[in-house]
Structure 1
Amino acid sequence: MFRTNPAFHLVLAFFVGIVAGLGAVAFRRLIGLMHNAFFFGQISSRFDDLRHSAASFWGLGVVLVPVLGGLVVVWLVRTFAPEAKGHGVPEVMDAIYYGSGVIRPVVVLVKALASSISIGSGGSVGREGPIIQIGAAFGSSLAQWLRLQEWQRLGLIAAGAGAGIAATFNTPVGGILFAIELMLVEVSARTLVPVMIATGTAAFVSRLFLGDYPSFIISQHIINRTMHQSAGAYAAYVLLGLLAGGAGLLFTSSLYWTEDRFERWIKNPYARHAAGMLGVGLVIYFMITFTGHYYVEGVGYATVQDVLDGAITHPGFLLLLLLLKILTFSVTLGSGGSGGVFSPSLYVGAVLGGLYAVIANHLLPGIGISMTIAAALGMAGMVAASTGAAVTGAVMIFEMTSDYHIIIPLIIVASLAFGVRRLITRETIYTRKLIRRGHFIPEARHSNLYLMRPAGEFMETPLIRVKGSRTLADIAVLLHRGREIPHILVLEGTQPRAVLTAPRVRELLRHRQTSTPIGNFASEDWFSVPVDCQIYDLVARFRATHQECALLCRIDPPEHHEDVIAIVTIEDVLAYTSLPMRLLRPHAAQ
């Protein structure tokens, strides 16, 4: 294994930033090329995403444009790189925590091509997910080629991901925070400085080719108005934050509900995505026919700019745009497309904020909420609620709008939106995809001090005790009274016999296997530890036994099922530490 000195590691980060910046520029040009080819039959990469696209000369035939693009996307993904399907960021996180930071180089090319076709042909997805995956894949490939140490490889992946965000949105600070909140398994000078170098470099390269402009334009007179906010306006922002949190939950749930339905109803992947994109094609044809613009196709930045400009003020139309964007986004990705979720969340947040301002000013004429400011706040709230990156959402919107005076309302809305989502579920739009595979991602980066604390302090998943003869239907009735899926301790007489973990319960209920006794599904693969066992010792036991469940007990070993205080799984430990899975279960990445 090749060991680099710190200076050379920084040079590598600089190189990753250059490639990520150039990749972002090339990817945006590629989207323009695909859009012009699919919609107008032209070979040109010119495309201004802040302006609405002209109507395609295909007429009614535009309905089939997303279908054609979708078929090509499915072929590319299935033939060359299955990792390129979907929104990209979960695959990067999965590689970090479960794959030792190994991302195949082919993913760079396939993801860029598949996502540009998906977006260019009318798919209602974003461009940031692919750029994140492209930057991360290059960082991983470079580290593998040089045979760097694992922590350096993981650091370059985070640097590439942050650089991709910085380059595509012209938000270097936001890129750093994105890497910290979602990518870095260790936050220290040796990992953070390379991220800073990569994101700064990528933003600089992007500005050389695309210009130093904010992602969205807010007029100076609107910015001046934010200097003087009334107490009533701040109270209104509190409610907006709560609404954004609810919208974020709807946004996330809609995607995975749609994905489940498509996979259940249509087994063939080509037919599945073709059916979904036919629906998207019908929606965009309806919009161009009756409104004059496509509105919901592609990244949707032109519509976001319209809301920021106050060009769309009818509440009914704003509500229609919000619902149609969630629908087309969910169908595009849920049926098998390739693209990001960040831009659609910005779109939904902007429209939600604009709609909120229109209604609030109508009901309370004296409150004086700016539609532009409310739209910007809505974007931050949606990012915080859906992705879990609350700080990133607030700072990126600040960088995108170049309005410093909006920072306090941004903090309020992003924090409340994040809190609403976290109160209901700790799953984000990124981690839910991984949890469905049984791959859990930690919510926080803790110092080693946390490993010395008792394991019981970190456990939130409830525990219920049942006989093995009870069925899943019985469990479903019990859960109807509560909200959170519990771990289940299966009893034999007065003794604990087996364990059914919360993720397994969730999976079984989703597949409706309700008539079988739960004892048939439960695992006897567990060990017991005292309730005051330290996390450090618990991790050692997981590694030594290769088991995945531990019973925290008053008396070890337990003499009665009442001695069991809680069930702890590897995933529970991962949820509250920054330990990658391979440190708890070494064979997992093999």
Structure 2
Amino acid sequence: MTIVVGTGGALGAWILIKLIAVATNFFWFGRLSADHSVITDASVGLMVVLIPVIGSLIVGLMARFGSDKIRGHGIPEAIETILFGESRLSLKVALLKPLSSAISIGSGGPFGAEGPIIMTGGAIGSLFAQCFHLSAAERKTLLVAGAAAGMTAIFGTPLAAILLAVEVLLFEWKPRSFVPVVVAAMVSYAWRPWLIGSGPMFPMASIMPNTNWMLLAAALIGLLAGFEAMLLSTALYRIEDLFHKLPVHWMWWPAIGAIVVGFGGLIDAHVLGAGYASIDALLNGSLALKVVLALLLVKAAVWLVALGSGTSGGVLAPLLILGGAAGFLVGQFLPGDAGFWAMIGMAGIMSGAMRAPMTGAIFAAELTGHFDAIPCTIIAAGAAYAVSVLLMRRSILTEKIARRGRHILQEYTVDPLDLLQAEQIMTRQPQTLQGSLAIKAALTFFTTEAQHRSYPVVDQQGRLLGMASRTDALRWQGDQLLTNSTLADTLSDAAQPVAYPDTPSGVVADLIIETGVGRIPIVDRATHQVVGILSRQDLLKARSANRLAETGRDRFVGGRRSLQSRKESDSETPG
């Protein structure tokens, strides 16, 4: 299935590129052509203000009367579909998202194609999955596989696409999803030379400086990129809040935002469109300082306003330009080519803004073919990521979802229940009831002595016969035929879920959910004797123990445990 989805993602990327080219030629050159063209080559005079407005108005109409899911970055919408929509995307989204994005970018919208292709590739994978009887997890895998395939085809960065899938979209690292995503990305990579082209998207002539201060300089740029990402994210959502206060329907917001885009184009036409030529120029150090400074300020303004208006577009290419411009400017004071430091800035801002440090580090290297710079991209990405998590509550992607009342945690941890076996958290030597106990005596026990809702019933050898509960006792009270019966007679035919000492606690938790039984007896595999019981409360102990492992501090070398450590431990340990 992922071979088909990988092929579909590659074709979707090719179609999106051609649609952008058609829209660019139509809006700026008045011709119908799918050949590559650059907006800066157009001579339209004051129409530079009007063209983005026309394109954004079309996008607003498509969102209003087609599907409002085409609005926004693309990646947040994919995340929300994965986590809250059972990975089901509609055919309407698959058709309208690339078309609306092509119109938006082709008419001058300051966006890249990566967000739309992730949504489009994901829609291809999701639609294909919906043709078969698959689980939500399997649909998610194919959706993410399509997204990774699309990104690989656009940028030629299979490893970064796989890492983006893991860090941003999958919310897990499991063979069931990782292997299919790898297959889809590599299938797309194999198609890329035939559809789009081969080699790095931005081959780079800049040389990495040979200095002992290189890593420290990369860390500095990473820190600055992290602060830049924070400022951009904060500004974006404040602008979005301002649009929400406008007394007009949201359909008109993209057109209103496009007015700012148009005036930005009057200042410098390089801020219009995807800006891939600007990225290439930054990396190769061919831009003047004034142009880079104008690109940084004007591009940031038009991108933030346009994206805050809710039009269809991506975040990655603008982030690369803004991070690259910052790195380029700082690189004027550092050894080596400024283009090299622009690449480091790109790695940092992608990591800081998207909370995807490994993706940012590898993406910059794959994009340029500059793999010898990976130590610098890693340290820049790590520094930016540290700033981001310390100063920002959420990434630029998850903040959008959080504003809809859905909090997303981008930290992967192992479920403590999967690490512990039943014998490690069960209550040992539980109180049991003998199978020979008369029903009348059992009723008295549940009325006067019982401290739990249910108890294991065992025979003379301690082997499990079943569970007797308060609910059973209430039922027995109204049945005169059971007056002279024993628990063994009553429960011998009753099916009872059990677990074993080596059963993972997570499996027991699933058993409790599936059966509705709150206390699961733990029996010896060989003898079937009851050795313990595991309740909901016992499962909560595992979570408490995991929290204690993360927050409790002890010192064992150089002296006894401190009083504070013992107090923390005592306060965390359940009674």
Aligned to 1:34: 23
For residue 130 of structure 1, what is the amino acid of its counterpart? P
Distance, in Å, in 1 between the alignment partners of 2:212 and 2:166 is 33
Distance, in Å, in 1 between the alignment partners of 2:31 and 2:164 is 36
Distance, in Å, in 2 between the alignment partners of 1:426 and 1:369 is 35
Identity over aligned pairs, percent: 34
**Shift of residue 188 of structure 1?**
1.9
The yes-or-no answer on 1:154 pairing with 2:154 is: no
The yes-or-no answer on 1:264 pairing with 2:245 is: yes
Query: 1:452–1:536: 8 Å Cα contact kept in structure 2?
Result: no
Aligned to 1:351: 325
SS of 2:112's partner is coil
Distance, in Å, in 2 between the alignment partners of 1:277 and 1:543 is 53
**Shift of residue 540 of structure 1?**
11
SS of 1:295's partner is helix
Q: Given the alignment, which residue of 85, 108, 114 partners 1:99? A: 85
The yes-or-no answer on 1:236 pairing with 2:209 is: no
The yes-or-no answer on 1:324 pairing with 2:298 is: yes
Aligned to 1:164: 150
For residue 318 of structure 1, what is the amino acid of its counterpart? V
**Shift of residue 425 of structure 1?**
2.1
Structure 2 CA distance for partners of 1:58 and 1:266, relative to 1, 3 Å:
farther
The yes-or-no answer on 1:308 pairing with 2:283 is: yes
Distance, in Å, in 2 between the alignment partners of 1:399 and 1:209 is 19
**Shift of residue 53 of structure 1?**
3.1
For residue 325 of structure 1, what is the amino acid of its counterpart? K
Kindly report which structure 2 residues correspond to 1:139-218, keeping only aligned pairs within 5 A, or say none.
139-218=125-204
Q: Given the alignment, which residue of 238, 249, 255 partners 1:274? A: 255
The yes-or-no answer on 1:117 pairing with 2:91 is: no
* Greater alpha carbon shift after TM alignment, 371-380 vs 278-287: 278-287
Offset from partner CA, 1:221-265 (integer Å, 9 cap, x none):
x3xx42x52122322222111101001111212211111111213
The yes-or-no answer on 1:406 pairing with 2:377 is: no
Structure 2 CA distance for partners of 1:450 and 1:37, relative to 1, 3 Å:
farther
Kindly report which structure 2 residues correspond to 1:515-534, keeping only aligned pairs within 5 A, or say none.
none
Offset from partner CA, 1:95-124 (integer Å, 9 cap, x none):
111111111121011101110000000011
Distance, in Å, in 2 between the alignment partners of 1:322 and 1:108 is 33
Kindly report which structure 2 residues correspond to 1:491-502, keeping only aligned pairs within 5 A, or say none.
none
Query: 1:266–1:272: 8 Å Cα contact kept in structure 2?
Result: no
Distance, in Å, in 2 between the alignment partners of 1:71 and 1:416 is 40
Unaligned runs of 5+ in 1: 1-11, 288-293, 362-367, 454-533, 546-556, 558-567, 573-590
The yes-or-no answer on 1:380 pairing with 2:352 is: no
Query: 2:200–2:367: 8 Å Cα contact kept in structure 1?
Result: yes
**Shift of residue 278 of structure 1?**
1.2
Structure 2 CA distance for partners of 1:271 and 1:191, relative to 1, 3 Å:
closer
The yes-or-no answer on 1:446 pairing with 2:435 is: no
Distance, in Å, in 1 between the alignment partners of 2:188 and 2:296 is 32
Query: 1:90–1:430: 8 Å Cα contact kept in structure 2?
Result: yes
Query: 2:88–2:127: 8 Å Cα contact kept in structure 1?
Result: yes
Aligned to 1:134: 120
For residue 330 of structure 1, what is the amino acid of its counterpart? L
Query: 1:249–1:421: 8 Å Cα contact kept in structure 2?
Result: yes
* Structure with greater Cα Rg: 2
**Shift of residue 401 of structure 1?**
0.9
The yes-or-no answer on 1:342 pairing with 2:309 is: no
SS of 1:212's partner is coil
Distance, in Å, in 2 between the alignment partners of 1:313 and 1:231 is 28
Instruction: Count residues in correspondence.
Output: 436
Distance, in Å, in 1 between the alignment partners of 2:61 and 2:374 is 44
For residue 228 of structure 2, what is the amino acid of its counterpart? A
Aligned to 1:86: 72
Distance, in Å, in 2 between the alignment partners of 1:437 and 1:414 is 29
- What RMSD over aligned residues (CA atoms) do the two structures have, in Å? 2.6
Offset from partner CA, 1:122-142 (integer Å, 9 cap, x none):
011111111000111111111
Distance, in Å, in 1 between the alignment partners of 2:279 and 2:512 is 52
Distance, in Å, in 1 between the alignment partners of 2:417 and 2:328 is 43
Structure 2 CA distance for partners of 1:317 and 1:105, relative to 1, 3 Å:
same
Aligned to 2:336: 369
Q: Given the alignment, which residue of 18, 22, 33 partners 1:44? A: 33
**Shift of residue 159 of structure 1?**
0.7
The yes-or-no answer on 1:285 pairing with 2:248 is: no
Query: 2:24–2:39: 8 Å Cα contact kept in structure 1?
Result: no
Structure 2 CA distance for partners of 1:268 and 1:14, relative to 1, 3 Å:
same
**Shift of residue 535 of structure 1?**
10
**Shift of residue 320 of structure 1?**
2.3
Distance, in Å, in 1 between the alignment partners of 2:144 and 2:101 is 21
Structure 2 CA distance for partners of 1:151 and 1:280, relative to 1, 3 Å:
same
Structure 2 CA distance for partners of 1:247 and 1:536, relative to 1, 3 Å:
farther
Unaligned runs of 5+ in 2: 421-504, 517-536, 538-543, 548-575
Offset from partner CA, 1:491-524 (integer Å, 9 cap, x none):
xxxxxxxxxxxxxxxxxxxxxxxxxxxxxxxxxx
Aligned to 1:529: none
* Greater alpha carbon shift after TM alignment, 436-445 vs 407-416: 436-445
Distance, in Å, in 2 between the alignment partners of 1:34 and 1:313 is 30
Distance, in Å, in 1 between the alignment partners of 2:509 and 2:394 is 24
Distance, in Å, in 1 between the alignment partners of 2:45 and 2:374 is 44
For residue 275 of structure 2, what is the amino acid of its counterpart? G
SS of 1:321's partner is helix
For residue 421 of structure 1, what is the amino acid of its counterpart? S
Structure 2 CA distance for partners of 1:256 and 1:121, relative to 1, 3 Å:
same
For residue 371 of structure 1, what is the amino acid of its counterpart? A
For residue 173 of structure 2, what is the amino acid of its counterpart? V
Offset from partner CA, 1:32-52 (integer Å, 9 cap, x none):
10011001111011115xxx5
